[in-house]
C-alpha cells in the first residue's frame, strides 16, 4: 500500500524528539492512543522523559522514516518483566501501511519474545496492525485512559 515510499527505521536521536512531540499533540491520535500522559502538551515533561528513555538499555527506540521524512516512532520497553511494543504514527501517514511495515521491520531487529501489545478496544487500525504482524489477542484489561478521562477496556496481544 505504500506507494513510492520506503519505510526505514533508525535509532531515535534527541533531534527527533521535536517532530515526535508534535505528532502526539493531534487530538484524534491522542483519543485513539487513549493511554497518554495527563498533559500531552507539556513539552518539558515530554523531553525530560524521552531524553532519559533514549539512554535506557532496556528500551529499543527507533524513528520511522518514509523517504527520509520522520513519520513516527516505535519502541520495545519492559513493564513488570514483560516486553511490550509501542508505536505512534503521524496522522498524515495513517492508512498507508506505514505502521504495519514499520512493525514488521522492527520485529526483525528486536528479538525479545514473547512481546506484548496493548490497544484501546476501539482502535481498530492498531488492532489490525498487530494482527497483520502475527500478534494474537490473548485477553482484556481495563485502565484509566487520560485522553478520555475514563476507565476503558484495552485488548492485550502477544507475539511468541
The per-residue pLDDT of the chain, averaged, comes to 95
Confidence (pLDDT) at 4:
54
In three-state secondary structure terms, 28 is helix
Give Cβ neighbours of residue 28 (< 8 Å, ≥ 6 apart): 91
According to the model, what pLDDT value does residue 117 have?
98
**Average of per-residue pLDDT across 137-149:** 97
User: What is the percent of the chain with per-residue pLDDT over 70, rounded to a whole number?
Assistant: 97
Q: What is the mean pLDDT of residues 119-129?
A: 97
Closest CA to 62 of 82, 95, 53, 40: 53
Domain 7-112: homologous superfamily in CATH: Gcn5-related N-acetyltransferase (GNAT) (3.40.630.30)
Alpha carbons 101 and 8: distance in angstroms, whole number: 9
Q: For residue range 62-102, list pLDDT tens digits in order.
A: 999 999 999 999 999 999 999 999 999 999 999 999 999 99
Helix (H, G, I), strand (E, B) or coil at 46: helix
Nearest Cα neighbor of 64 from 42, 113, 97 is 97
Instruction: Output the pLDDT for position 103.
Output: 98
pLDDT band (50, 70, 90) for residue 22: very high
Please tell me the pTM assigned to this model: 0.93
Location of C-alpha cell 497483520: 132
CA proximity to 138, closest of 156, 125, 122: 156
3-state helix, strand, coil in the chain (%, to 5): 35, 35, 30
The candidate with the shortest Cα–Cα distance to 116, out of 83, 77, 78, is 83
pLDDT given at position 72: 98
Please determine, for residue 107, whether its predicted confidence score (pLDDT) is greater than 70.
yes
Cα separation of 94 and 101, whole Å? 12
Residues 6 or more apart whose Cβ sits within 8 Å of residue 65 = 7, 8, 9, 10, 71
Q: Which of 157, 149, 110 is nearest to 130 (CA)?
A: 157
Domain spans in the chain, listed from the N-terminal domain onward: 7-112
Mean pLDDT of all residues in 126-150: 97
- The mean pLDDT of 122-140, rounded to a whole number, is 98
Residue 5 confidence class, pLDDT cut points 50, 70, 90: low
Amino acid at each position: 500500500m505504500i506507494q513510492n515510499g520506503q519505510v526505514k527505521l533508525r535509532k531515535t536521536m534527541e533531534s527527533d524528539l521535536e517532530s515526535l512531540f508534535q505528532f502526539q499533540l493531534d487530538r484524534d491520535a491522542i483519543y485513539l492512543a487513549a493511554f497518554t500522559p495527563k498533559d500531552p502538551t507539556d513539552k518539558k515533561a515530554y523531553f525530560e522523559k524521552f531524553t532519559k528513555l533514549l539512554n535506557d538499555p532496556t528500551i529499543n527506540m527507533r524513528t520511522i522514516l518514509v523517504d527520509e521524512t520522520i513519520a513516527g516512532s516505535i519502541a520495545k520497553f519492559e513493564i513488570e518483566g514483560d516486553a511490550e511494543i509501542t508505536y505512534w504514527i503521524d496522522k498524515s501517514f495513517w492508512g498507508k501501511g506505514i505502521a504495519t511495515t514499520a512493525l514488521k521491520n522492527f520485529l526483525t531487529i528486536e528479538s525479545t519474545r514473547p512481546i506484548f501489545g496493548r490497544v484501546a478496544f476501539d482502535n481498530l487500525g492498531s488492532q489490525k496492525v498487530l494482527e497483520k504482524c502475527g500478534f494474537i489477542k490473548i485477553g482484556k484489561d481495563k485502565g484509566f485512559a487520560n485522553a478520555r478521562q475514563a476507565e476503558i477496556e484495552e485488548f492485550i496481544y502477544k507475539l511468541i
